[in-house]
Structure 1
């Protein structure tokens, strides 16, 4: 990833979402707007990489994808760069797009502040893969 602005005291995630064809109807963007308005996340950067039916690859920063997405991202952090788009494009099938989104878990910053406020410190934070949770749930139900 490219040069980045420093996020707050909260974890930052990179999420890749693949779409086949032209299926952008605004539902995903509406949910991102809701999460940002609620203070749950802060969107730091976004890119859209697509490969047309003819195999041609294009990529766009948030400001060039959609006005609402541009407003949500604001000034891009520089976390995502051309080399990220190029890496994704290598694996992209024709008539497919991948949205790349970097966001900060804003809610976690307030939790960390509360922990520090009582003299505690955050020792570790790890993401549990969804596949591991699914496997545990299946094991528990059998």
Structure 2
């Protein structure tokens, strides 16, 4: 039986060129610990002159390419174009698709006692923050 885990798409916006490796270091740590498995990644950027470029993980950075391995093909040119439409000049958006590997082991444990995960929903962080204030 194949273990399944939730998959998320995360979009992160950067103004200017502020990449210094800290994000990749954290992604590598999460991957090494078995917390996540990076399935796909794209970087979409708009230069100050308005020109748009999008890059797959393998061409952005060797470390990111190693994390993604063979891209799953989840992200496409259409995804990059949709994000690029809203992108301000001198800004980039990183698109990251990852699987919650840790959740697969939890689902396996549930299945091991005859149960099954019926649903998995994300509660936005802002909603939790708002509830904590009340």
How high is the TM-score relative to the length of structure 1?
0.92
Residues 96-111 of structure 1: matches in 2 within 5 Å? 96-111=91-106
SS of 1:108's partner is helix
Deviation of 1:130 after TM superposition, in Å, equals 1.0
Where structure 2 has 5 or more consecutive residues not aligned to the other structure, the ranges are none
Is 1:122 matched up with 2:117? Answer: yes
Residues 62-77 of structure 1: matches in 2 within 5 Å? 62-77=57-72
Number of equivalences = 133
SS of 1:107's partner is helix
How high is the TM-score relative to the length of structure 2?
0.97
Change (3 A) 1:18 1:66: same
Deviation of 1:9 after TM superposition, in Å, equals 0.2
Where structure 1 has 5 or more consecutive residues not aligned to the other structure, the ranges are 1-6
SS of 1:79's partner is coil
Is 1:41 matched up with 2:36? Answer: yes
